[in-house]
């Protein structure tokens, strides 16, 4: 079998694969904790990432519960304002860097090798590292909450001088944890790029590549481009605060507005990092349950690439109110609106895929369809925010909060859940409980709208974001929002139950549990064996 493998791997990194097969191929993995600590197996690492992400999702969710409990009534009831600010800050950081991004990396680890017919990720040892430094980053970040003076309280955007002049003593810990998260993301991204470029099965040409691999490849390039810029920004904050530099300190000749330019040069591509893999997941699920081929495959690829390129030209739409010259305001307004064109192309393609398909509505499809509707709402509120003069009213209000939760929760997180329901039979070898899955979906989709939709009205009526107290005319709507929040939080426990039940047992899953599914991952038995595609498949 080995000779056969090697013969077929001429187009790949022969020596590395060879080495890997000898290492792991003929031995059982070590057992106990060491299996997980030392693992270089893409499936193990994918599982670690996914569990880590879920734990962070619940941690960040708990902080959101604190926020919504405080905002249930006007006035200060439960927490003091400084702690409230720490909750909004760390909630944002944990959800962005701890929940969404690791979930996508986990899915990439599990699925990309199986989708492109590769035996593992290209750089398995680095893969181990990129996961295992992550828990330390979050231990550092979360532990700063318990220090004297508290944890970061300057918002996930850590604008200077809030993060320099006025920040708590623990800011260095925040900086180091961001550095570690950045290193982890970059290693993950390098791994995806090398894997997709070098390890595709013979015959898998670029235009046959599954869209999840495509969108992740482009995301990985975005990550490599902007994570170092974030690292630069936190380093400047560090030296400004502790070593007397004045990058952002006006008194020393620096410029605080420059912080916002540097941050958003990272920040806007970052929001696309959190949505492009979702587009890939959608492009896998919608055709399966429509029993049709994806409409407009190549336009999807080009749309993804153009979104990625354009995402470098729109950062200042977060800064319309900083007093930019009119020319810049217009430039960034038009570029931002331009981005919604390729996004619209994608939405159109998914709808066209469903058109006249024979649809069924299993849980993954339900989440995918609700993504289609709710993400589009988020796109529209984004367009409203992109109109410069209108943004002067909306900026820093709950309208912005509504916008980015529609694109991130009902966008990114809903597709992550869809992906879990879609591929979990492959991971565990069992079908999940469809009734519980549907219950999870309906509870989530109803409560998420009670949670986030009224925020649009709060914002339009002028309620600022990131405040622990508010004027009494906002009381009723905030109460509704908080109830939606608690309901959404509780609904996610159903998800936990579904996943645990599915790992423990359930109806046996066939190799291809979904009738309309296409792709190499469904040619492997369920559960996927520890080593798959050690012999590359032949692609017609």
Partner 1 sequence: MFGFGFALVPLYDVLCDQLGINGKTQNSASQYIDNEIDKSRLITVEFISQVQNNMPWEFIPQVNRLQVHPGELVRTHFKAKNLSNLNIVGQAIPSVSPGRGAAYFNKTECFCFNQQTLAAKSSADLPLIFYVDPALPDNISTLTLSYTLYNITDKGYVDVLEQGAAK
| Chain positions contacting ligand HEM, by CB under 6 A | 157, 271, 274-275, 317-318, 336, 339-340, 343, 379, 382-383, 385-386, 391, 394-395, 400, 403-404, 407-408, 411-412
Task: Compute the least distance from the CB of residue 232 to partner 1, in Å.
Answer: 2
Ordered DSSP codes for 232-247 = HHHHHHHHHHHS---S
Residue 477 interface partner, choices partner 1, Cu ion, ligand HEM, none, CB cut-off 5-8 Å depending on type = none
Q: Which is nearer to ligand HEM, 123 or 310 (CB)?
A: 310
Q: Which is nearer to ligand HEM, 307 or 445 (CB)?
A: 307
Considering only 226-234, 261-269, 466-474, 528-536, which stretch makes contact with Cu ion by CB under 5 A?
Answer: 261-269
- Residues of this chain that interact with partner 1 (CB under 8 A) are 224-233, 235-236, 244, 246-247, 250-253, 255, 257-258, 261-262, 265, 323-325, 328
Q: Which is nearer to Cu ion, 196 or 222 (CB)?
A: 222
Q: CB under 8 Å to 458, separation ≥6 — which residues?
A: 397, 398, 399, 402, 474, 477, 478, 481
Task: Compute the least distance from the CB of residue 239 to ligand HEM, in Å.
Answer: 24
Task: Compute the least distance from the CB of residue 340 to ligand HEM, in Å.
Answer: 4
Task: Compute the least distance from the CB of residue 314 to Cu ion, in Å.
Answer: 6
H-helix segments, 274-387: 276-290, 297-310, 326-354, 363-386
Q: Nearest residue by C-beta to Cu ion?
A: 268
Task: Compute the least distance from the CB of residue 225 to partner 1, in Å.
Answer: 6
Task: Compute the least distance from the CB of residue 215 to ligand HEM, in Å.
Answer: 13
Interface residues for Cu ion in 266-285 (CB under 5 A)? 268
Task: Tell me if 12 sits within 8 A of 198, measured CB to CB.
Answer: yes
Tokens 């936990």 locate to 496
Task: Read off φ and ψ for residue 397, nearest 5 degrees.
Answer: -115, 180
Q: How many residues does the chain have?
A: 540
Residue 382 interface partner, choices ligand HEM, Cu ion, partner 1, none, CB cut-off 5-8 Å depending on type = ligand HEM
Q: Which is nearer to ligand HEM, 201 or 417 (CB)?
A: 417
Residue 246 interface partner, choices ligand HEM, partner 1, Cu ion, none, CB cut-off 5-8 Å depending on type = partner 1
Q: How far apart are CA 220 and CA 186, in angstroms?
A: 8
- The verdict on 456 binding Cu ion (CB under 5 A) reads no
Ordered DSSP codes for 170-194 = THHHHHHHHHHHHHHHHHHHHHHHH
Q: How far apart are CA 478 and CA 236, in angstroms?
A: 37
Q: Which is nearer to Cu ion, 268 or 405 (CB)?
A: 268
Q: Which is nearer to ligand HEM, 395 or 430 (CB)?
A: 395
User: Strand, coil or helix: what is 397?
Assistant: strand
Residue 400 interface partner, choices partner 1, ligand HEM, Cu ion, none, CB cut-off 5-8 Å depending on type = ligand HEM
Tokens matching residue 204:
């898998």
H or E stretch including 479?
helix 475-504
Q: How far apart are CA 424 and CA 503, in angstroms?
A: 9
Tell me which residues are annotated as active site. Answer: 91, 120, 156, 184-185, 268, 270, 272, 283, 317-318, 343, 346, 465
SS3 sequence of 42-111: HHHHHHHHHHHHHHHHHHHHHHHHHHHHHCCCCCCCCCCHHHHHHHHHHHHHHHHHHHHHHHHHHHHHHH
Task: Tell me if 68 sits within 8 A of 380, measured CB to CB.
Answer: no
As a whole number of Å, the end-to-end CA separation of the chain is 22
The binding site for Cu ion (CB under 5 A) comprises 268
């Amino acid at each position: 079998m080995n000779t056969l493998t090697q013969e077929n791997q001429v187009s790949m990194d022969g020596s590395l694969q060879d080495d890997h097969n000898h290492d792991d191929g003929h031995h059982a993995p070590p057992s106990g904790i060491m299996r997980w600590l030392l693992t270089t197996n893409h499936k193990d690492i994918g599982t670690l990432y996914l569990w880590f992400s879920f734990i962070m999702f619940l941690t960040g969710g708990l902080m959101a519960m604190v926020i919504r409990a405080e905002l249930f009534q006007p006035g200060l009831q439960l927490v003091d304002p400084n702690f409230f600010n720490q909750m909004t800050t760390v909630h944002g950081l944990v959800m962005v860097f701890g929940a969404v991004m690791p979930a996508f990396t986990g899915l990439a680890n599990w699925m990309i090798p199986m989708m492109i017919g590769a035996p593992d990720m290209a750089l398995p040892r680095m893969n181990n590292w990129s996961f295992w430094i992550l828990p330390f980053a979050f231990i550092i970040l979360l532990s700063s909450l318990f220090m004297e003076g508290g944890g970061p309280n300057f918002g996930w955007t850590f604008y200077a001088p809030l993060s320099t002049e006025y920040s708590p003593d623990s800011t260095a810990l925040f900086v180091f944890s961001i550095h570690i998260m950045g290193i982890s993301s970059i290693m993950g991204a390098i791994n995806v790029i090398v894997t997709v470029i070098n390890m595709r099965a013979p015959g898998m040409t670029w235009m046959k590549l599954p869209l999840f691999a495509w969108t992740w490849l482009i995301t990985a390039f975005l990550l490599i481009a902007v994570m170092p810029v974030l690292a630069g920004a936190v380093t400047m904050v560090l030296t400004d605060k502790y070593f007397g530099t004045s990058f952002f300190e006006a008194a020393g000749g620096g410029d605080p507005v420059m912080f916002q330019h540097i941050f958003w040069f990272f920040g806007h591509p970052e929001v696309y990092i959190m949505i492009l893999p979702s587009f890939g997941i959608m492009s896998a699920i919608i055709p399966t349950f429509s029993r049709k081929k994806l409409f407009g495959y190549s336009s999807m690829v080009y749309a993804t690439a153009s979104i990625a390129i354009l995402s470098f030209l729109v950062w200042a739409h977060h800064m319309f109110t900083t007093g930019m010259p009119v020319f810049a305001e217009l430039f960034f307004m038009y570029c931002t609106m331009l981005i919604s064109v390729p996004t619209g192309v994608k939405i159109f393609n998914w709808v066209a895929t469903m058109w006249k398909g024979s649809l069924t509505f299993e849980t993954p499809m339900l989440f995918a369809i609700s993504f289609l509707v709710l993400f589009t709402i988020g796109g529209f509120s984004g367009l409203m925010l992109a109109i410069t003069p209108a943004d002067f009213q909306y900026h820093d209000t709950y309208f912005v909060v509504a916008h980015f939760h529609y694109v991130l929760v009902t966008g990114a997180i809903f597709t992550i859940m869809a992906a879990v329901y879609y591929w979990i039979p492959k991971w565990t070898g069992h079908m999940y409980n469809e009734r519980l899955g549907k219950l999870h979906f309906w509870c989530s989709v109803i409560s998420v709208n009670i949670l986030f939709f009224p925020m649009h009205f709060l914002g339009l009526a002028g309620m600022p974001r990131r405040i622990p107290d508010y004027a009494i005319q906002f009381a009723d709507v905030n109460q509704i929002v908080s109830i939606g929040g608690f309901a959404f939080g509780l609904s996610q426990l159903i998800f936990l139950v579904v996943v645990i039940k599915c790992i423990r047992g359930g109806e046996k899953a066939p190799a291809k549990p979904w009738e309309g599914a296409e792709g190499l991952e469904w040619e492997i038995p369920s559960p996927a064996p520890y080593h798959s595609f050690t012999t590359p498949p032949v692609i017609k």
